[in-house]
Amino acid sequence: MTETQENMNIAEYSKLTRIVMVVVSMLLIFGGPTYVPYLMFKLNIDYTASVVVGAVLFIVGIIFMIFLIRKKVITP
């Protein structure tokens, strides 16, 4: 991929959109496995289900972060 094409990939997202995408991925990575299972446990939802939901949110956050890195929205 040429440098012009890379710049076009980055330019298709506004600065606000890029910031929001990074914040969402961080919330999924850090908040997913910590706060969501805790809240689900406090709402008397089965512990196993809450842990599974937390793990799924963590995995989704990691996949979203990899997507952002590959699209060069953020740099590692």
Query: What is the identity of the amino acid at 48?
Result: T
pLDDT band at 75 (very low <50, low <70, confident <90, very high): confident
CA distances from 53 to 1, 27, 39, 71 (A): 37, 14, 11, 27
| Residue corresponding to tokens 């089965």 | 46
CB 50 within 8 A of CB 36: yes
Round to whole Å and give the CA distance between 58 and 18: 20
Are 32 and 57 spatial neighbours (Cβ–Cβ below 8 Å)?
yes
Entry pTM: 0.75
Domain ranges of the chain: 16-70
Digit-coded pLDDT (tens) for 5-63: 555 555 577 888 888 988 999 999 999 888 888 898 889 998 899 989 999 999 999 99
